Structure 1
Amino acid sequence: MSMEIKITTQLANFLQVCIDKKSHKLGKLLHAHILRTGLFTDTFLSNRLIELYNKCGRLLTARQVFDKMPHKNLFSWHAMLSAHCKTGDIDEAHKLFVEMPERNAVSWNTLISALVRGGLEQKALNLYHDMNRAGFLPTNFTLASVFSACGALLDLQYGCVCHAVVYKIGLDKNIYVGNALLGMYAKCGRIENAIKAFEDLPEVNEVSFTAMMGALGDTDHVEGAFDMFRSMHRIGVRVDAISLSSVLGVCARSGINGQQLHGLTIRLGLENDLHLSNSLLDMYAKCGDMNSAEMIFDDLQEVSVVSWNVMIGGYGQKYEIKKAIEFLEKMRRFGFEPDEVTYINMLTACLKSGDTETAYEIFKKMASPSLSSWNALLSGYSQIGKHKEVVRLFINMQFCNVKGDRTTFAVMFSSCASMGLLRGGRQVHAASVKNLFDDDIYVASGLIGMYSKCNKIDVAKCIFDRIKDQDDIVCWNSMIAGLSLNNLDKEAFMLFKNMMEKNIFPTQFSYATVLSSCAKLSSISQGRQIHAQALKDEIINDVIVGSALIDMYSKCGYVDEARLFFDKMPVKNTITWNEMIHGYAQNGHGSEGVDLFEEMINKSGENPDAITFIAVLTACSHSGLIDHGIMIFNSMLQEHGVEPISDHYTCLIDSLGRAGRFNEIEAILDKMPYSNDPILWEVLLSSCRVHLNASLARRAADELFRLNPCNSAPYVLLANMYSSMGRWDDVRDIRELMIEKQAVKDPGYSWFEHKDGI
């Protein structure tokens, strides 16, 4: 008996050597010897064989050994369960788990963590629930996996429940749990809770700092992320390739050139780490520094598909399609097969450059385009305004049996809204319900936007009222914007107030929309309420909110208050300058508007756009600065590279018409390319009526009759001019023509605000 134990021990030691050295051939010889000598019934030796085959990547052989074992113990089951989990064979692992005669915490943890790694987070949480019901206490490993699952699912509520469990079982000081907890809060967008979890850690390591840097970077707390990295470096926590990759990711997302971090990478001797090298490539590419990116790429000792993808994506971002295609061809020549990210980067690059033909050719070359590829093409077409192609592609998706996701439906609703395609939008709505996306917040937001833009605001309201989770700002913003778009500005203001009462924090877009409603209502009192709220919420320095405030004060007639606010703004962009110039123009302060335009182009560093010139030309027109307006109009293309559009010609004709300079107007009319713009002809007709220029007035009216015979404005303007000149026969003819064409004059109205209301 003692001899058998001695032989068994020796065989076990030999097997351990084979396990350590991953020696599959020698292990097979020992296996054969064990079978020949009848020692296979020894559970200890069989377990060693399972361990050996798993270590050598021979899962099938390991499973055969396991299945033939006459006496399995808990180690046998765990060895096989762990092997299936490591290879990602979750279904087989789950079957094995169910068959286990007994389980302990290790059994549950092994399967829960495998489910999380495999992207089956909800199944992992369901299994954790079963584990609790079975009476097993979670360990630090269990809770780390559970927090990871909650973060991936953005399930903050369940994450908070599990946080309470941490305190209950005394794991609140465990660094492994603490790191997973702050990661969960970060992914759920609760940066304050993540910071608190970080501060509560009894000790911090590189994992803690890396998680916090990523969290701060993801929530646009860029300086906070850099402070965290500096603090990590200062207190002596080891800076590794992963933490450097994390802070480089912050640089990439923020467009900050991280050359100093590149220097630190070299100083720490980490320049040969492939993941870190790819992070450096990505940082330079996202910052637009493709020269530096290409230098790093050329020096890489090891290149992966990710490296090629970053380079292709970087050149695509800079609209250098030839370089992107060149790298794609080189990638293939060097034996790398393009993956889906490669194709998506190429698709995005071509679409951003407006090269839809090449984009579609690349898409057609894909053997089996995934949903991400379809979405990339749909989004690209939508962003460049090719909405008919978006609808066509969506129909093709249905024929290819590719089910859309929230991105697909959001893009489709946006395109249907842009075309006013109500029937198509309803069909896509039906498809979203069929695919069980009707409860998704972002799909609901897209639906609200689509129905609002198609003038079906009642349907939009119904969708909004049916939303279960009304804590998300996205749908509130869509509904407020929809009401404003349909001239229900009072309702938009009330909905904004309702949102505030529910403690939902407004974004800059919420403020911009509701301020636009106040402007349309000419309600200075409501506008000032919103101004005060923006101050309280510390969002007043946001350039979007500031620009909307300038517009509101200007449209309510308080242009001096608009200018006071404009001067205090810490950050201005072209839109801000445009709003202030336009505010002066609207309120008859044309000279101040022109002076501000001169200041913008000479001192601000902002480039004027088409809207800037509409604003300043309007200012010139309203203040009689005709020659100045002509000079500015002529400078548009020559000095600023802005092609004049119909609105610019309208401003110029209005300016000349007010001064009665009709010879110059006729010269412009004969050369301009926008003869089908009714507003231009209405402006001209109005000027002719004032100056009693009957011949040019008739030409303008005839153009308007051609463009829209039912529009009452040209008939009324022409008749009023003829009556001023005493040409009563002509007045009668115009009245008869108006009746014949069934052109009915709409009643006019105006309003102002006083203490009792509007």
Structure 2
Amino acid sequence: MRNSAPRMLARTTTATAYVADLLENCINNKAHIAGKILHAHILRIGAFADTFLANRLVELYSKCGQLVSARLVFDRMPQRNIYSCNAMLSCYCKENQLEDAHELFVRMLERNSVSWNTMISALVRNGYERRSLELYQMMRLGGFEPTRFTLASVLSACGGLGERMCGKECHGVAIKLGLDTNVYVGNASLGMYAKCGMVGDAVKAFWDLTEPNEISFTALMGGLVEADRIEEAFDMFKLMHRNGIRIDSVSLSSVLGVCAKGGSGDFGAISDDDCELHIVPGKQIHGLTVKLGFENNLHLSNSLLDMYAKNGDMDSAEMAFANLSEVSVVSWNIMIGGYGQKDKKEKAMQYMEWMQSSGFEPDDVTHINMLVACIKCGDVKTARMIFDRLEHQSLSSWNALLSGYTQNGYHRETVNLFGEMQFQNVQPDRTTLAILLSSCAALGHLETGRQAHARLIKPGFHTDTYVGSGLIGMYLKCGRVAGAKHVFNGVHLLDTVCWNSMIAGLSFNSMDGEAFSIFIEMLRKGTLPTEFSYATVLSCCAKLSSLSQGKPVHGLIVKDGYTDDVFVGSALVDMYSKCGNICEARQFFNLMPFKNTVTWNEMLHGYAQNGCGDEAVCVYRQMIQSGARPDDITFVAVLTACSHSGLVDPGITIFNSMQKKHGVAPLPDHYTCIIDSLGRAGRFNELESIINKMPYKDDPVVWEVLLSSCRVHSNVSLARRAADELFRLDQKNSAPYVLLANMYASLGRWDDANDVRSVMIEQQVLKDPGFSWVEQEKSDVRRLG
């Protein structure tokens, strides 16, 4: 009898171990029915009090997706331990029952790393990234050491939120714990850096991986594409193929995204001999997709369609669409969007009708694509009708219509629509506010822009690069330089657009010297200038008449290969002309491979400003012979040149040809030029004839020019008429008083001169003072050159 108890205990332990093994087998195979039979057996033999077996039952039901059964076992357990709670917590999280999971997590008397990992991973997986980061901080404060699973989840959350500092800190923890080379943590670090726009760090994280896999390559390709480093993204795909990394549908879809963003021109060829991908254009990836047997993969097929549509190759898109084994709403939307981007509204509408007749219901994306198609064609009215008919006006649809108004110059309508959006309590995002800021800048609506700025601060958008450039532009267009500088200094990562906005805005506010200093700072910070940067800073040099600053910039333009750009070239011609070096301007003008109307106009202006009338007329004739179409600015330039050089008859001929030959109606500036030309020559009969016929009798500049000419030729009667017209238009303008008084004085008519000055005093009219400046050498600019 004394030996029976140990034998019974041994038999019980053996039986428990045997049942536990059977349960393990059921868990691994998700054998729900067999598990329930074992559950009944455990209850029958009275082994349910065994916490280990009960925990395994919870785990079994969790693995089989039987949440109710798992909860029943958990609630009836006589004794629970941390493993019981973790098993139930895992079950809740697996079934996305986060409220129940959180309630259990809070009630747990004891937690370990598994508890924290389970909760953090579930939050990230369900889109609660911010809450997961808060929980991670609590975990660290509680003294728990994160595992590779914790770090991978937290890094993913940082990437989704754009939390750079938290992401870098988490990566530092991974390095400290020696987990940075783990493929899961390494890929999460790489993905975090890529999503946060820190491509350099993403590349470094990639090369730190001992064995990068297809996820590593795909994540880095995505980051490089977002940073517009298209060639490097292609190189990563080639390296992936060379290293024998398995190319799946996801990686192919990713590289098609590269093709969609970088264009699908003839970048090179795939060698069939060694299967090495030298340079990968979209059509070749299409061939590789078929070769690898992925042609029936719907997601990949849609990526192919998107690639063709984004590159404007709708013929290839049509063929790919016709060969799809299966279509989805996404497929139809891509085709509709592709035709919309090509300004083919009717074709987009045809596809939408075809889509509906095929049994597919248009969704928000379909309607937004149609809305964009109308906007691209300038049909904002139809776009608004489509928007108003939307059953659910999503944020994307609001943004699309706002963007359409702004792109078509309906800035007041943009502001009004934003007001409607606020009235309907639709929360704007960074895109909404950037569009609004653009319209505020165009209208000079400082107060509305400030309100938008206030809306940006709470979600932290004001430090965003994209929104920051919009704020800078808005403040500078409204003349608030201090506000623009404050925003500029607060942007975390200044890109070329931000620098360009600051340079252009300062120039707009006649602060060209400071704009040039910002350009120098941009170079020192390592940001590469674009064509716009160079064209803007050359304009600053031109307005400063500073050849010592302009020449080094020209050197940088040559170095960076922008000399063939028509806008940069036009700005160079303008800069040299305004700095008085007309020979250098003409020399560069002759070397330009392509000239547009702006280029010709700049050369004409240069000759006009430097008193080279004959050369200006010659360039004008060359322009007409080249087939370039003159505009109103062209005629201002050439007529000014004729006026300053005494070429009256050529000027009259050109003036008379404006409307008849070129369809350009004369504007006040053109009348001013021809009146100045006739006045300088003393041909007042012809001048009076033009004045009597011109429609712009309320333009003060015309009368000022006439008055100045009359003073030179002592034509008192016509001078008096011009002065009376100017007094009528503006009694506070000092110019007619001064010019008339000086003319009387030059003729010795002192009483008349004094009378004019007396009237000037009575009217409290003050003469504007003149000014001059001296250029100071800029040693830092010479070094850059």
Q: After superposition, what is the alpha-carbon deviation per residue over 1:525-580, rounded to whole angstroms, capped at 9, x for unaligned?
A: 34445556778889888876665454433322234444566678899877666655
Question: Which residue does 2:218 correspond to in 1?
Answer: 210
Question: Which residue does 2:244 correspond to in 1?
Answer: 236
Distance 2:630 2:727 in 1: 36
Corresponding residue to 1:556 among 576, 579, 582: 579
Moved more, 690-699 or 198-207: 690-699
Question: Which residue does 1:151 correspond to in 2?
Answer: 159
Compute the displacement of 1:155 (Å): 3.3
Residues 279 and 749 (structure 1 numbering): CA distance in 2 closer, same or farther, change over 3 Å?
same
Distance 1:142 1:577 in 2: 64
Structure 1 segment 663-682 matched on structure 2, within 5 A: none
Compute the displacement of 1:112 (Å): 3.0
Structure 1 segment 603-622 matched on structure 2, within 5 A: none
Moved more, 254-263 or 573-582: 573-582
Amino acid in the other structure paired with 1:281: L
Amino acid in the other structure paired with 1:163: H
Question: Which residue does 1:166 correspond to in 2?
Answer: 174
Residues 53, 61 of structure 1: 8 Å contact kept: no
Residues 59, 70 of structure 2: 8 Å contact kept: no
Compute the displacement of 1:431 (Å): 4.9
Moved more, 334-343 or 707-716: 707-716
Question: Which residue does 1:328 correspond to in 2?
Answer: 352
Distance 2:596 2:34 in 1: 71
Amino acid in the other structure paired with 2:479: N
Question: Which residue does 1:749 correspond to in 2?
Answer: 771
Corresponding residue to 1:226 among 223, 227, 234: 234
Distance 2:333 2:767 in 1: 61
Residues 524, 556 of structure 1: 8 Å contact kept: yes
Distance 1:736 1:663 in 2: 32
Amino acid in the other structure paired with 1:48: L
Compute the displacement of 1:519 (Å): 2.6
Question: Which residue does 1:354 correspond to in 2?
Answer: 378
Amino acid in the other structure paired with 2:369: N
Question: Which residue does 2:261 correspond to in 1?
Answer: 253
Distance 1:739 1:178 in 2: 81
Amino acid in the other structure paired with 1:383: Q
Residues 178, 201 of structure 1: 8 Å contact kept: yes
- Give the secondary structure class of the aligned counterpart of 1:53: coil
Residues 9 and 270 (structure 1 numbering): CA distance in 2 closer, same or farther, change over 3 Å?
same
Question: Which residue does 1:47 correspond to in 2?
Answer: 59
Compute the displacement of 1:77 (Å): 4.7
Residues 512, 545 of structure 1: 8 Å contact kept: yes
Q: After superposition, what is the alpha-carbon deviation per residue over 1:126-185, rounded to whole angstroms, capped at 9, x for unaligned?
A: 333333344444344333333333333333333333333333333343333333333333
Residues 532 and 91 (structure 1 numbering): CA distance in 2 closer, same or farther, change over 3 Å?
farther
Structure 1 segment 228-377 matched on structure 2, within 5 A: 228-257=236-265, 258-377=282-401
Corresponding residue to 1:382 among 372, 384, 406: 406
Q: Does 1:457 align with 2:467?
A: no
Q: Does 1:421 align with 2:421?
A: no
Distance 1:108 1:571 in 2: 65
Residues 216 and 470 (structure 1 numbering): CA distance in 2 closer, same or farther, change over 3 Å?
closer
Amino acid in the other structure paired with 1:138: P
Residues 608, 637 of structure 2: 8 Å contact kept: yes
Distance 2:534 2:95 in 1: 51
Q: After superposition, what is the alpha-carbon deviation per residue over 1:450-494, rounded to whole angstroms, capped at 9, x for unaligned?
A: 3433334355456667x3858677666544444332223334444
Residues 659, 666 of structure 2: 8 Å contact kept: no
TM-score (structure 2 length as normaliser): 0.76
- Give the secondary structure class of the aligned counterpart of 2:64: helix
Residues 463, 487 of structure 2: 8 Å contact kept: no
Compute the displacement of 1:295 (Å): 2.8
Distance 2:82 2:249 in 1: 38
Q: After superposition, what is the alpha-carbon deviation per residue over 1:578-629, rounded to whole angstroms, capped at 9, x for unaligned?
A: 65554454434566667777888988x9988776676667667666454885
Question: Which residue does 1:98 correspond to in 2?
Answer: 106
Question: Which residue does 1:519 correspond to in 2?
Answer: 542
Residues 32 and 288 (structure 1 numbering): CA distance in 2 closer, same or farther, change over 3 Å?
same
Question: Which residue does 1:138 correspond to in 2?
Answer: 146
Compute the displacement of 1:399 (Å): 1.9
Amino acid in the other structure paired with 1:340: D
Distance 1:106 1:352 in 2: 54
Distance 1:542 1:126 in 2: 51
Residues 216, 224 of structure 1: 8 Å contact kept: yes
Residues 73 and 492 (structure 1 numbering): CA distance in 2 closer, same or farther, change over 3 Å?
same
Structure 1 segment 8-47 matched on structure 2, within 5 A: 19=30, 41=48, 43=54, 44-47=56-59
Distance 1:632 1:254 in 2: 46
Residues 651, 674 of structure 2: 8 Å contact kept: no
Residues 143, 162 of structure 1: 8 Å contact kept: yes
Compute the displacement of 1:316 (Å): 1.9
Structure 1 segment 551-700 matched on structure 2, within 5 A: 551-562=574-585, 579=602, 582-589=605-612, 624=647, 626=651, 629=654, 633=658, 646=667, 649=670, 653=674, 657=678
- Give the secondary structure class of the aligned counterpart of 1:165: helix
* Backbone CA RMSD of aligned residues: 5.0
Residues 165 and 69 (structure 1 numbering): CA distance in 2 closer, same or farther, change over 3 Å?
same
Residues 658, 666 of structure 2: 8 Å contact kept: no
TM-score (structure 1 length as normaliser): 0.79
Distance 1:671 1:308 in 2: 60
Amino acid in the other structure paired with 2:201: N
Distance 1:644 1:251 in 2: 47
Residues 489, 518 of structure 1: 8 Å contact kept: yes
Residues 15, 27 of structure 1: 8 Å contact kept: no
Amino acid in the other structure paired with 2:254: S
Distance 2:41 2:690 in 1: 101
Amino acid in the other structure paired with 2:527: F
- Give the secondary structure class of the aligned counterpart of 1:490: helix
Q: Does 1:111 align with 2:111?
A: no
Distance 1:673 1:197 in 2: 70
Structure 1 segment 493-504 matched on structure 2, within 5 A: 493-496=516-519, 503=525
Distance 1:255 1:663 in 2: 63
Residues 68 and 285 (structure 1 numbering): CA distance in 2 closer, same or farther, change over 3 Å?
farther
Moved more, 187-196 or 75-84: 75-84
Residues 405, 411 of structure 2: 8 Å contact kept: yes
Give unmatched runs, 5+ long, in structure 1.
none
Q: After superposition, what is the alpha-carbon deviation per residue over 1:391-440, rounded to whole angstroms, capped at 9, x for unaligned?
A: 21222223222333333333333323322233444444555567776666
Distance 1:428 1:265 in 2: 46
* Identity value in percent: 56
Residues 13 and 284 (structure 1 numbering): CA distance in 2 closer, same or farther, change over 3 Å?
same
Amino acid in the other structure paired with 2:773: W
Question: Which residue does 1:188 correspond to in 2?
Answer: 196
Larger Rg: 2
Q: Does 1:408 align with 2:420?
A: no
Distance 1:217 1:607 in 2: 39
Distance 1:343 1:463 in 2: 36
Compute the displacement of 1:222 (Å): 2.0
Distance 1:82 1:695 in 2: 100
Compute the displacement of 1:717 (Å): 6.2
Question: Which residue does 2:415 correspond to in 1?
Answer: 391
Compute the displacement of 1:371 (Å): 3.2
